[in-house]
Structure 1
Amino acid sequence: MAVIAWWAALIGLALAIILILFKVNPVYSLMMGSIIGCLLGGMSLAQTTNTIVTGSSGVMGTIIRVIAAGVLAGVMMESGAANVIATNIVSHFSDRLTILALALSTMVLTGVGIFIPVAVLIVAPIALEVGQKMHYSKLSLLVALSGGGKAGNIISPNPNTIAAAKGFNVELSQVMIADFVPAVVGLIVAVLLAMLVKNRGTFIPADQKFAKKEVEDLPSLGSAITTPLVAVVLLLITPIGDVLGIKALSSLNIDAMYILPIAGLIGTLAMKQQRKFLTYMKNGLARMTDVVMILIGAGAIAGLISASNLPQEIVMLVKSSGISGTFLAPIAGILMAGATGSTSTGVILASNSFSKSIMSLGISGTGAAAMVHTGATVIDQLPHGNYFHVTAQSVNMQFKERMSVVVWEMLVGLSMTIVATLMYGGLF
């Protein structure tokens, strides 16, 4: 099969982005961009079909694991466990540490498998109430929520982490562990930045009332943390076995496809909600449907890029610029996530399209995954993605002010990317 010219791939990607900006369904936008790019590159209709099918089939491993993650996400969100965890974190911190409590809450929720937009939506009502009490601006609150969410998102069994692990053929747990230090740095930076801007922007009106949402049968904190605790323990079995040299543990190699549903089931039993488990599964799968569809579209555009010489051209451009080839990994993550307005889609495109080029530089699979993954958190919050609008609505923020948050979110993502690149890029 002939190699598509780099410019045809770029036109296809640009078309997909433009269609997304014009509110065309992202899945169709990505597929249309893939088709046009292939045809402009000289492929026949049959070759175009094969390229898109091949690209989409390349993400099936990720899709299967994302569907499995739906069980855990469904249990955590539908049972009220996520709300219990967030409320307890905030309530156990003093007023002076409110910003840290809010950032930590979203970090923990995303870290245990809740989607970052959902984590922000869960904590936002709490943030608005304490922000009104402490007279913190909405800008400060959203920087804390979003920054903490970004930090937790890179150490979670979420679709983006699964995609990073699959893209570089490493274990999910390895990527989660590799991203831990960058995540802690991201949390610290988010808190510092939120404190810096606490007096900027608009504030919550003093007379605004907050409705108390009553939820029946909320689990205790102990039972609420069972699901994520079991998931983390099972995911760490193989890495611990490797570190301690215990063959019985290191050889288990239990895939996330098994671990995440098992953790959801055990958590449901601990919360004594076994009768609702099927409902949790159904709702969890429903929440994953949009993600799965996006991944299929991302696979299609990744097929276009992989069939072109665009990755080679970018490698040559990086090398000719005089900077280390190591920077290809974070740059790929930054550009692809920024282009699609999505962490998961960006990681899929970056890892599937540039993995061979990145690995040819002698970087380990885990290190490459960590750098691409953290890079994808830098500008994934742009307006053509849904995260921008969901988080704006969560704190009743207007478009212009929400745009001002993007810069501070970018600094959080950039701090994590820099740390990951220093740790795994072999720059020393």
Structure 2
Amino acid sequence: MSAMGALIGLILSIVLIIRKISPAYSLILGALVGGLIGGFTLSETVTHMIDGVKDITPAILRILTAGILSGVLIKTGAAATISNAIIKKLGKSHVYLALALATFFLTAIGVFIDVAIITVAPIALSIGKKLSIRKGVLLVVMIGGGKCGNIISPNPNTIIAAENFDADLFSVMYANIIPALLGLIFTVYVVARLMPGKGAFVQEEDIEKEQDNLPSFISSMVAPVLTIVLLSLRPLFGYGVDPLIALPVGGIVGVIAMRKGDFLKEGMSYGLARMSVIAILLVGTGTIAGIIKASSMKDVLLGALIQTNLGEVLIAPLSGMLMGAATASSTAGATVASSSFAEIILKAGISGIWGAAMVNAGATVLDHLPHGSFFHATAGVTNVNITNRLKLLPYESAIGFVLAALSVFAYYLFSS
């Protein structure tokens, strides 16, 4: 089918999402309209939509089980303990590094980026009040740290990119470690220090009471450490523990180590609720991905890249960036991009690991746009009004762009 049909369907989905229509339904309707306009019959359109969903079903199953780890870290207070320990250790003299590192580490061990920011925000606002730091700067530092951690985490965006490229999850996570660390440095020592002195300061009413009865730092680290160890067995020793097993096992053992078994049911319910929203969104993204994959859009994009002499390798980060912007979600962006363009990226001679890593990094460039939930969730938790929240977009985009560029550079540096 024609690329124009797929493009119209994608634009329609974006417009509907911006108009506050359910993202899943917006994507499904966009896929249906795109297929019909592109030249498919109704029956063919539905078939390609279903095929697109089938392609990502294994990843959806893994994402649902990953909710156990994320839910346990949040509901037991382990995430709060870890973030508090990092911030306390680095102290007020390194406040930007402490806040960025806290959200970086939480997302890197499997906490959703918005949940990581919600977890760190109370202590960030408390420090900001004492040191007279503006809320906008605090938020950008936390978001930057979260973006850096998100490209090396066992979060849904990484899981689904690895799945669609048939690549080992831990290897995809590991590929972006250097870009993530350099991105963290860029966030703390460039972006945070170049932001203008505008925006509101933290007020007393912005500060919330911190969580009580938190577990110890050592017991809090059991779940993430065990999870990473299990995921690393396949690339290191050739004996694989699938994320479907590794992530929930890490969460369950972590609960036992923290002696908070009563929180397991609550953590599972919380994680399932969070992941169910993602799973439903992924069903919608699967339908539009199926239509894009069946269209000539990927060939048009590849031809445009060849014409500009930018090279085929850029189709990975660019597709992630464009789809991340379209859906205002790194998870949905990584899903559509990896589902639609994995085949052509692999045919260009790029390995599945690096293809997934670059798509994942590209999806972080514009995933914070206002038609997505992340924009509003992060504004709400720090009490930043919409006008001031919009002013932060260029700084977030700069961090995402640096991450994508560094991922491409790492590919050229380490894949040759």
Q: TM-score, normalised by structure 2?
A: 0.96
Describe the SS at the equivalent of 1:142. Answer: helix
Look up the match of 2:172. 175
Superposition deviation, residue 196 in structure 1: 1.3
Look up the match of 2:53. 56
Give the counterpart letter for 1:102 in structure 2: L
Superposition deviation, residue 313 in structure 1: 1.1
1:86-139: CA deviations, max 9, x gaps? Answer: 111111112110010000000011111110011111111111111111111122
Superposition deviation, residue 204 in structure 1: 2.3
Aligned residues: 415
2:120 is the alignment partner of 1:123? yes
Look up the match of 2:346. 359
Can you give the 5+ residue segments of structure 1 that lack an aligned partner in the other structure? 242-249
Once residues 85 and 29 of structure 1 are traced to their aligned partners in structure 2, the CA distance between those partners, rounded to angstroms, is: 38
Once residues 194 and 34 of structure 1 are traced to their aligned partners in structure 2, the CA distance between those partners, rounded to angstroms, is: 38
- Listed as ranges, the matches of 1:64-143 within 5 Å are 64-143=61-140
- Listed as ranges, the matches of 1:12-411 within 5 Å are 12-197=9-194, 200-205=197-202, 207-208=204-205, 210-215=207-212, 217-241=213-237, 250=238, 252-411=239-398
Give the counterpart letter for 1:356 in structure 2: E
Give the counterpart letter for 1:279 in structure 2: E
Percentage of pairs with the same residue: 38
Once residues 165 and 106 of structure 1 are traced to their aligned partners in structure 2, the CA distance between those partners, rounded to angstroms, is: 23
Once residues 70 and 136 of structure 1 are traced to their aligned partners in structure 2, the CA distance between those partners, rounded to angstroms, is: 34
1:155-187: CA deviations, max 9, x gaps? Answer: 111000001101111011011100111110111
Give the counterpart letter for 2:368 in structure 1: Q
Once residues 20 and 217 of structure 2 are traced to their aligned partners in structure 1, the CA distance between those partners, rounded to angstroms, is: 41
**Contact 1:140/1:197 (8 A) holds in 2:** no
Once residues 41 and 298 of structure 2 are traced to their aligned partners in structure 1, the CA distance between those partners, rounded to angstroms, is: 22
**Contact 2:5/2:35 (8 A) holds in 1:** yes
Q: TM-score, normalised by structure 1?
A: 0.94
Describe the SS at the equivalent of 1:59. Answer: helix
List, as ranges, runs of 4+ consecutive aligned residues in structure 1 with deviation greater than 3 Å: 205-209, 425-428
1:42-67: CA deviations, max 9, x gaps? Answer: 22222122111111111101101101
Once residues 406 and 261 of structure 1 are traced to their aligned partners in structure 2, the CA distance between those partners, rounded to angstroms, is: 35
Once residues 20 and 316 of structure 2 are traced to their aligned partners in structure 1, the CA distance between those partners, rounded to angstroms, is: 29
Once residues 134 and 211 of structure 1 are traced to their aligned partners in structure 2, the CA distance between those partners, rounded to angstroms, is: 17
CA RMSD of superposed structures (Å): 1.5
After the TM superposition, which of the residue ranges 331-340 and 272-281 deviates more from structure 2? 272-281
Superposition deviation, residue 302 in structure 1: 0.1
Superposition deviation, residue 199 in structure 1: 5.5
After the TM superposition, which of the residue ranges 117-126 and 206-215 deviates more from structure 2? 206-215
Describe the SS at the equivalent of 1:396. Answer: coil
Superposition deviation, residue 194 in structure 1: 4.5
**Contact 1:103/1:146 (8 A) holds in 2:** yes
Kindly tell me: are residues 206 and 348 of structure 1, through their superposed partners in 2, closer, same or farther at Cα, counting changes over 3 Å?
Answer: closer
Give the counterpart letter for 2:23 in structure 1: P
Once residues 405 and 37 of structure 2 are traced to their aligned partners in structure 1, the CA distance between those partners, rounded to angstroms, is: 37
Superposition deviation, residue 233 in structure 1: 1.0
**Contact 2:77/2:211 (8 A) holds in 1:** no
Can you give the 5+ residue segments of structure 2 that lack an aligned partner in the other structure? none
Once residues 400 and 294 of structure 2 are traced to their aligned partners in structure 1, the CA distance between those partners, rounded to angstroms, is: 30
Superposition deviation, residue 240 in structure 1: 2.2
Once residues 215 and 17 of structure 2 are traced to their aligned partners in structure 1, the CA distance between those partners, rounded to angstroms, is: 40
**Contact 1:136/1:203 (8 A) holds in 2:** no
1:176-212: CA deviations, max 9, x gaps? Answer: 1001111101111111234314662223256557342
**Contact 1:137/1:202 (8 A) holds in 2:** yes
Kindly tell me: are residues 52 and 205 of structure 1, through their superposed partners in 2, closer, same or farther at Cα, counting changes over 3 Å?
Answer: closer
Describe the SS at the equivalent of 2:396. Answer: helix
Once residues 206 and 287 of structure 1 are traced to their aligned partners in structure 2, the CA distance between those partners, rounded to angstroms, is: 30
Kindly tell me: are residues 206 and 386 of structure 1, through their superposed partners in 2, closer, same or farther at Cα, counting changes over 3 Å?
Answer: closer
Once residues 205 and 341 of structure 1 are traced to their aligned partners in structure 2, the CA distance between those partners, rounded to angstroms, is: 27
Superposition deviation, residue 390 in structure 1: 0.6
Once residues 199 and 319 of structure 1 are traced to their aligned partners in structure 2, the CA distance between those partners, rounded to angstroms, is: 39
